[in-house]
Amino acid sequence: MALLVLLLAAVLLAFAAVGKISTSGLTTILMAATVVGSTLLQSPGHVDPPPYKDVGVFDIVLSFLTAGLALGHGVHLFIMELAFQRRGV
């Protein structure tokens, strides 16, 4: 289930790269990726957590990379908006 939520966040991030997405879309991407990565990293519900498999480590890394990309994209959109306001466009 966590991988499906992460893939949904990645698809939303792809839509954000193609066109301008709203702030709520970027927030959804950032929160989904961060929650998935944090949940998998802490492995809740286990008294003695099992060792991570390669796919689990890949999912954790991919989720935090997706969160970083969403944050970077949000900062980029903010900077572009400031530049457009300065030009009077």
User: What pLDDT, on a 0 to 100 scale, did the predictor assign at position 9?
Assistant: 74
Residue 26 Cα distances to 1, 37, 53, 54, 79, angstroms: 21, 17, 30, 28, 15
**pTM attached to this predicted model:** 0.66
- Domain residues of the chain, as ranges? 1-87
pLDDT string in tens for the chain (89-residue length)? 766 777 777 777 777 777 767 777 777 778 887 887 787 777 755 666 677 778 878 878 888 888 888 788 788 878 888 888 888 75
User: What pLDDT, on a 0 to 100 scale, did the predictor assign at position 11?
Assistant: 79
